[in-house]
């Protein structure tokens, strides 16, 4: 079953090295839609990534740094990226060898479409 977010998530997972792409609620980390490789569990990833993004956003607000545009978590075997838009967070999990620059550009571009897609989803 597809949702308004499906084409966007599929486009992200077609990027080299991307293992998963999800849209989740920032507030509670509940998955709105996801495009996952076989064997991945999206619920927990979404909850943890949304929590990290939310903490980053709130700390930035506490420091008067403005909105958070892009977040990345680095580990030896991969990376987790998050971009927020309204009440939603777009999350991508990728291998360490993935092209960060391309993924960042695609995520920031996709984030601009999220509010409109969310409107379509609610309709």
- Among the listed residues 6, 72, 113, 121, the single contact to other proteins using CB under 8 A: 72
- Rounded to the nearest angstrom, the gap between the alpha carbon of residue 25 and the centroid of all alpha carbons in its chain is 10
Residues between 15 and 34 with contacts to other proteins, criterion CB under 8 A: none
d(CA 18, CA 8): 13
Residues between 38 and 67 with contacts to other proteins, criterion CB under 8 A: 41, 44-45, 48-49, 51-52, 55-56, 58-67
Q: Which of 100, 88, 117, 81 is nearest to 8 (CA)?
A: 117
Q: Which of 68, 67, 86, 101 is nearest to 23 (CA)?
A: 86
d(CA 33, CA 23): 5
Which contiguous run of DSSP H or E holds residue 121? helix 100-122
- Among the listed residues 17, 68, 113, 121, the single contact to other proteins using CB under 8 A: 68
Does 36 bind other proteins (CB under 8 A)? Our answer is no
With contacts defined by CB under 8 A, how many residues of the chain interact with other proteins? 38
Give whichever of 102 and 116 is closer to other proteins, judged by the CB atom: 102
Does 107 bind other proteins (CB under 8 A)? Our answer is no
The residues binding other proteins (CB under 8 A) are 41, 44-45, 48-49, 51-52, 55-56, 58-80, 93, 96-97, 100-101, 104
């Amino acid at each position: 079953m597809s949702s308004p977010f499906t084409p966007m998530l599929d486009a992200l997972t077609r990027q080299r090295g991307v293992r998963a792409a999800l849209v989740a609620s920032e507030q509670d980390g509940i998955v709105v839609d996801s495009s996952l490789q076989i064997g991945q569990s999206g619920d927990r990833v979404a909850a943890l990534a949304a929590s990290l993004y939310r903490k980053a956003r709130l700390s930035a607000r506490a420091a008067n740094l403005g909105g958070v545009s892009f977040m990345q978590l680095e580990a030896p075997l991969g990376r987790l990226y998050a971009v927020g838009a309204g009440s939603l967070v777009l999350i991508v999990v990728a291998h360490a060898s993935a092209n960060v620059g391309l993924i960042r550009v695609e995520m920031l571009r996709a984030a601009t479409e999220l509010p409109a897609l969310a409107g379509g989803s609610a309709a």
